[in-house]
Every structure is written in C-alpha cells, then in structure tokens.
C-alpha cells in the first residue's frame, strides 16, 4: 500500500463500501449505507466547531434566566457527543445509527446540527453533502484505504474543524 493524501478524519471505509455496494443490488435503497456513513462522520466532526445565536426577548430555561440580546455560542461537538441525547455509545462509530435517517437517530430535535439549524442553517449543506457522497462513492469503487498507524486523531478548530496532523492514508487499487 502507498500513502497519498489525508482525509478530515479516520473512517471505516470498508464498512461504507460494503453497504454502498449492497445498495447497488437494490436500486431502491439509493445508497443508504453511504448516506449513513456520511451522516455519522459529519456528526463526529462537524464542518464548524461552534455557531452563535442572539436571543430575541427574555426567556427562562430551567432555573436559568436568559436576557434579551444575549449571544449564545453552541459548541457542536459537545451536542453531538452528549450521552443524554445520543446514548452511552455517543462517541462510537455506529453506522446503523442513521439507517432510518437523521430524524430517528436521536432522542431530541435539533441535536444533529453539523450545519447549524433553523432559519439560519448553512445554505450549502445539501450541495456539500451530495458532493461528498458522490466523491466517496466514486473513490471507493476503485480503491481501498487503511489509516496509517502513525495517525494521531487531533481535531483542530479555526472557523472549520480539520485534523491538526492530517489523516495519512494508505491505499490499494481494487
């Protein structure tokens, strides 16, 4: 195997490839395995580390009084790894977590927020997800990948989240 480039984070490509190849046997599945893997990876490391919102009016959340005009910063990774929302296995790679779609993957509404949410959701979300899915499908049809043993998982945030040391991969043509 030969090392050529880095991806944003390690991913079990063999699982995604098996599911996406199986979906070709059933044309009605529309690549559900690939979508599940994509959604799971975006949950693990969202494109942005945080996003902000400003309160419009005073409100009370539990025991907390929140004033009008307060800037709230939402740490996406903490929401995506919250065990109360996602279960005890919140940090584990579970491809089946998204097998029935994002809305059934979690107990709470608005707990899957890699592109923020509400009226100010990222306008590029759909095109980004579609392009990522197409690129991954095309690559996995021709190559298999392994994460290099030298990889050190260290997400780093400057506007967007990316691997501090990259994610060196070894590949082989299928």
Tell me the domain boundaries of the chain: 2-173
- CATH fold of 2-173: Cytochrome p450 (1.10.630)
Tens of pLDDT, residue by residue over 62-113, are 899 999 999 999 888 888 889 988 889 888 877 788 788 777 888 777 888 8
CA dist., res. 47 & res. 113, Å (int): 10
pLDDT-based confidence at residue 22 (cuts at 50, 70, 90) = very low
CA dist., res. 26 & res. 119, Å (int): 36
CA dist., res. 13 & res. 77, Å (int): 22
Buried/exposed code over 12-49 (b: 16+ C-beta within 10 A; e: otherwise): ebeebbebbeebeeeeeeebbbbbbbbbbbbbbbbbbb
Question: Do 164 and 154 meet the contact criterion of CB atoms below 8 Å apart?
Answer: yes
The pLDDT score that the predictor gives to residue 120 is 83
pLDDT-based confidence at residue 150 (cuts at 50, 70, 90) = confident
Distances (CA, A) of 76 to 80, 116, 141, 172: 6, 8, 32, 34
Q: Is 51 helix (H, G, I), strand (E, B) or coil?
A: strand
CA dist., res. 85 & res. 131, Å (int): 29
Answering whether pTM is above 0.85, one says no
Phi first, then psi, for residue 136 (nearest 5°) are -65, -45
Lowest mean pLDDT among 37-41, 64-68, 137-141, 170-174: 37-41
User: Is 122 assigned to a binding site?
Assistant: yes
| E strand intervals along 55-151 | 59-61, 64-66, 71-75, 143-147
């Amino acid at each position: 195997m030969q090392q050529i480039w880095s991806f944003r984070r390690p991913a079990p490509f063999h699982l995604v490839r098996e599911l996406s190849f199986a979906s070709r046997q059933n044309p009605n599945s529309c690549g559900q395995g690939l979508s599940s893997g994509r959604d799971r990876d975006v949950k693990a490391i969202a494109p942005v580390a945080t996003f902000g919102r400003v309160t419009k009016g005073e409100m009370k959340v539990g025991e907390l009084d929140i004033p009008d005009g307060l800037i709230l910063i939402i740490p996406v990774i903490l929401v995506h790894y919250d065990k109360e929302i996602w279960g005890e296995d919140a940090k584990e790679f579970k491809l089946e977590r998204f097998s029935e779609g994002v809305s059934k993957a979690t107990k709470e509404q608005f707990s899957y927020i890699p592109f923020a949410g509400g009226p100010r959701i990222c306008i590029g979300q759909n095109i980004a997800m579609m392009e990522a899915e197409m690129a991954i499908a095309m690559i996995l049809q021709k190559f298999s990948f392994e994460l290099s043993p030298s990889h050190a998982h260290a997400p780093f945030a400057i506007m967007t989240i990316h691997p501090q040391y990259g994610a060196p991969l070894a590949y082989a043509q299928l």
